[in-house]
């Protein structure tokens, strides 16, 4: 990755559609086997990843971090935040909701909040998102997800576990 100009991206499909698509692609035995099959074949993996990139770039401004947070952020990509914040907005959001780095764009977390809340999924934004594994850039997040590698990406806190452990993934 070079140092690119990262700017908040407004998703091109409504959240309800994204949630519906997710349900179609939800992890199951079939997808798990498909993912393992694709991953064993480098050429096929490249084509598969290219397809994922094109689709998600178009729809969500995907930058291919390989560890997709979209299902927990109202399908607004936090990696398009100039600070790549995975845990919510910074304190610099302008009163009109625009990004402190580019005032012509809406803060991606304002977008995420609005979309998740409208879908009744605002509790997703309370999840503690673990640091990304920078080795996964350019890898397919679908293949990672189907093989259960995303399970530790985020963790909920509650009265029983007020301070979840940070370790546990790696």
Q: Is 152 in the site for other proteins (CB under 8 A)?
A: no
**Residue 132 and residue 85 in contact, taking contact as beta carbons nearer than 8 Å:** no
Q: Is 107 in the site for other proteins (CB under 8 A)?
A: yes
Name the segment binding other proteins (CB under 8 A); options: 33-41, 45-53, 56-64, 99-107: 99-107
**Residue 115 and residue 75 in contact, taking contact as beta carbons nearer than 8 Å:** yes
Name the segment binding other proteins (CB under 8 A); options: 15-23, 36-44, 54-62, 87-95: 87-95
| Least gap, CB of 84 to other proteins (angstroms) | 5
Scan for tokens 């909920």, then name that residue.
156
**Residue 134 and residue 63 in contact, taking contact as beta carbons nearer than 8 Å:** no
Tokens (6 digits) for 109: 């977390």
Cα angle for residues 36, 25, 132 (degrees, 5° grid): 70
| Least gap, CB of 61 to other proteins (angstroms) | 17
Residues that bind other proteins (CB under 8 A): 3, 82-97, 100-101, 107, 109-110, 113-114, 117, 125-126, 128-131, 134, 157, 162-167, 170
């Amino acid at each position: 990755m070079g140092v690119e100009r990262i700017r908040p991206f407004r998703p091109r499909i409504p959240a309800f559609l994204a949630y519906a698509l997710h349900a179609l692609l939800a992890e199951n035995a079939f997808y798990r086997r498909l993912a393992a099959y694709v991953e064993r074949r480098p050429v096929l993996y490249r084509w598969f990843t290219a397809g994922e990139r094109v689709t998600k770039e178009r729809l969500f401004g995907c930058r291919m971090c390989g560890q997709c947070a979209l299902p927990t952020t109202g399908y607004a990509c936090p990696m398009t935040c100039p600070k790549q914040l995975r845990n919510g907005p910074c304190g610099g959001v302008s009163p009109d909701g625009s990004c402190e780095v580019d005032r012509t764009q809406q803060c991606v977390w304002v977008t995420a909040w609005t979309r998740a809340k409208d879908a009744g999924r605002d509790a997703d934004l309370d999840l503690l998102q673990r640091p990304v594994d920078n080795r996964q850039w350019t890898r397919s997040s679908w293949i990672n997800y189907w093989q259960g590698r995303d399970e530790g990406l985020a963790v909920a806190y509650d009265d029983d576990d007020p301070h979840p452990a940070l370790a546990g993934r790696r």
